[in-house]
Structure 1
Amino acid sequence: MADYAKLYWWSNDGVRLHARDYPGDSGLGDAAVVPLVCVPGLTRNARDFAGFAERWAGRRRVICVDLRGRGESGYAKDAMSYVPLTYVQDIEALLADQGIGRFAMVGTSLGGIVTMLLAGPARGRLAGALINDIGPVVEPGGLSRIRGYVGKPSSWPTWLHAARAVQEGNADVYPDWGLEQWLAMAKRLYRLNSAGRVVLDYDLRIAEPFRVPGAEAGPDMWGALAGLDGLPVTIVRGARSDLLSAETAARMADALPGAELVTVPGVGHTPLLTEPEVEAAVDRLLARLDAG
């Protein structure tokens, strides 16, 4: 297991934020080896990227972010700050705090939306991106499924109970998983509270922006995606995904000449980024990044 440091910084509105900071090889001596900044999905946290980070850490710096209200990051006073444009500002604050010039983004689901929105303001600094199972168009069925569970309290007496609950809610996403994998996923999603109960590891108020009328009408995401034009980009889609359709993924690849589209068979929303198909694609993406 690769070692990491706990990295903390402050948002513009005073939230203390956290990331796991996996070091690169300080002996490389090559400024072209850009760090990877990994941003997870809506209810997820930095632990989601543990397998991914351990695959590439040591060769390059990998920073895995806990968005505000998740994991070890602080909870926001204003629940209406749990929106993508605020998350973009939080990532910009991280880059400034760490003095990072050029970097590449790895965004899963909500993290992919943050990546697209960051592409414009970070033009000239953003070296490339991986977008995992999200696009400018989010399928209504998948969005409805997310609204059905996000923000609802969940508490279990043991990790096994939590794992069984996670399996019940995600069996269609990972149909080939066994108990060991469900337990691992539960330990990424949940934490132990002071009473010894297994509870969700995020601020349940992240659901509040979803309840605002007209919340679906966000920024122009096709315009945001265009900010990645000319950069090395990998688009990952789970073949069973209910959030990113095959048609939208293909349109994204067409909109970004040179982008690589990778479909992971037998997986829904979202791929873990440790699948062999994805690891091979990330190797190719990093080679393009390092080639300048």
Structure 2
Amino acid sequence: MSCSYRDLFVSAANGLRLYARDYRPQTGDALPVVCLPGLARTSKDFHDLAEALSHDPSWPRRVLCLDYRGRGRSEWDRDWRNYDLKVELNDTLQVLTAAGIGKAIFIGTSRGGLITMALSAARPEIIAGAVLNDIGPVLEAKGLMRIRSYVGKLPTPRTMSEAADILRQRSEAQFPGYTDGQWEKMARGTWRETEDGLVLNYDPNLMKTLEGLDLEAPLPDLWPLFETMKPFPVLAIRGSHSDLLTTETLQVMQERHPHLTAITVPEQGHAPSLEGNLIPIIRDFVAGVDLRD
């Protein structure tokens, strides 16, 4: 693992310790990028992208990748009810203030995209542009049911190879083209190695936030939040096998947003890995936001 980032620890409003990876180039004054992961994911997911953006020869920029409370290297909350979008929104603002970031391009995967939309409504001046990775204003119940079926409920593997096999068995339909290396990379973001063996990289109580969802009832209307993003450019990414963001929703997003570019990643589901061919696409997008800003 490269040591091209610094560890940043910040106290949340209630004193909980939050963590972020801070990739800082030695030169360059391009807009910083803030990366917000999915529900049970961490800052690790953005490492390849953060390396590429922070070392870009033309537009080197600072990249800040967050671990929400209860995930990764951030402290677990004693009250699982605080694993809540509003709390995580406030945590994000706390980290940005501590990092001295007043305006940035946000890259949000799944839950991170929801937080980005909430930021757009609450603090629009802080957003210069956004990448929404497999998330939009309509959440499909089928995808939420699948996520609820495994978060905090995975069997404990003995090795990382076994961990990769567990994820492959559960998610191969979403990612039929994944290599062994990609499954192991996903596993290393899901579990961490300790003296007592592998443990989840997040608080298992996170599952309690999903257990209370009534997926038979209408889900919240998030279009008003999405509408607040119209003033700035958006890159919307969808995995072709996604069960959380449909092609129909993506099309309506394009129709409603005058500065939205939509792409679909073949052979990937929810949510596409921000690596490989997606890196230059995102790099070009954020460079374009700099030129526009």
Q: Same fold (TM over 0.5)?
A: yes
Is 34-43 or 279-288 further displaced after alignment? Answer: 279-288
Q: Indicate if the aligned counterparts of 2:137 and 2:226 stay in contact, CA closer than 8 A.
A: yes
Find the aligned partners of 1:203 and 1:281 in 2 and give their Cα distance.
33
Following superposition, the deviation at residue 84 of structure 1 comes to 1.1
Counterpart for residue 109 of structure 1: 110
Counterpart for residue 200 of structure 1: 200
In structure 2, do the counterparts of structure 1 residues 273 and 213 end up closer, same or farther at CA, with 3 Å as the change threshold? closer
Is 12-21 or 174-183 further displaced after alignment? Answer: 174-183
Q: CA RMSD in A?
A: 1.7
Counterpart for residue 155 of structure 1: 156
Structure 1 SS opposite 2:228: helix
Q: Indicate if the aligned counterparts of 2:139 and 2:219 stay in contact, CA closer than 8 A.
A: no
Counterpart for residue 72 of structure 1: 73
Q: Indicate if the aligned counterparts of 1:52 and 1:273 stay in contact, CA closer than 8 A.
A: yes
Find the aligned partners of 1:151 and 1:217 in 2 and give their Cα distance.
25
Give the TM-score of the pair, scaled to structure 1: 0.93
Deviations 1:81-124 (A, max 9, x none): 11111111011101111221111110001111111111112212
In structure 2, do the counterparts of structure 1 residues 270 and 90 end up closer, same or farther at CA, with 3 Å as the change threshold? same
Q: Indicate if the aligned counterparts of 1:104 and 1:127 stay in contact, CA closer than 8 A.
A: yes
Find the aligned partners of 2:98 and 2:195 in 1 and give their Cα distance.
32
Structure 2 SS opposite 1:155: coil
Counterpart for residue 232 of structure 1: 233
Q: Please show how residues 51-90 of structure 1 align to structure 2 within 5 Å.
A: 51-58=48-55, 59-90=60-91
Find the aligned partners of 1:226 and 1:193 in 2 and give their Cα distance.
44
Deviations 1:109-141 (A, max 9, x none): 111111111111221221110000011111111
Give the TM-score of the pair, scaled to structure 2: 0.92
Paired residue total? 286
Does the alignment pair 1:179 with 2:180?
yes
Counterpart for residue 246 of structure 1: 247
Is 101-110 or 220-229 further displaced after alignment? Answer: 220-229
Find the aligned partners of 1:289 and 1:45 in 2 and give their Cα distance.
25
In structure 2, do the counterparts of structure 1 residues 90 and 217 end up closer, same or farther at CA, with 3 Å as the change threshold? farther
Counterpart for residue 41 of structure 1: 38
The percentage of counterpart residues that share the same residue type is: 36
Structure 2 SS opposite 1:290: helix
- Specify every segment of 5 or more residues in structure 2 that has no aligned partner in the other structure, as ranges: none
In structure 2, do the counterparts of structure 1 residues 182 and 257 end up closer, same or farther at CA, with 3 Å as the change threshold? same
Find the aligned partners of 2:283 and 2:161 in 1 and give their Cα distance.
35
